[in-house]
């Protein structure tokens, strides 16, 4: 089990995840990351989130992968 953090960034600033989550593997980390992105999109207007990126890092700060919000949102209509 590994503890990972889900930080968000855009050109206007950074949201730091101070709590993180314990995951068993990369698949679980990816699924949790997608849930974080979806809940932030629901809390904010999708058009304001398009340029955000979710950075997933381990407990020593090494970035594991990133999830651009635009990837979850798909192409703009």
The radius of gyration of the chain from alpha carbons, rounded to an integer in Å, stands at 12
pLDDT range class, residue 74, cuts 50, 70, 90: low
**63: Cβ contacts below 8 Å, ≥ 6 apart:** 55, 56, 57
- Per-residue confidence (pLDDT) for residue 25, from 0 to 100: 94
Domain ranges of the chain: 2-73
- Per-residue confidence (pLDDT) for residue 49, from 0 to 100: 74
Pairing assessment for the beta strands 2-10 and 13-15 based on DSSP bridges = antiparallel
Task: Please say if the pLDDT value at position 77 is more than 80.
Answer: no
- Per-residue confidence (pLDDT) for residue 1, from 0 to 100: 81
Gap between the Cα atoms of 27 and 11, Å rounded: 28
- Identify how many contiguous H helices and E strands the chain contains and give both numbers: 3, 5
- Per-residue confidence (pLDDT) for residue 29, from 0 to 100: 95
Contact 9, 55 (CB under 8 A): yes
pLDDT in tens, 18-57: 999 999 999 999 999 999 988 888 887 656 677 899 999 9
């Amino acid at each position: 089990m590994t503890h990972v953090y889900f930080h968000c960034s855009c050109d206007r600033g950074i949201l730091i995840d101070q709590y993180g989550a314990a995951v068993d593997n990369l698949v679980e980390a990816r699924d949790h990351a997608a849930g974080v992105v979806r809940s932030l999109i629901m809390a904010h207007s999708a058009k304001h989130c398009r340029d955000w990126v979710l950075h997933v890092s381990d407990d020593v700060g090494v970035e594991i992968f990133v999830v651009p919000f635009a990837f979850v949102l798909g192409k703009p209509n």
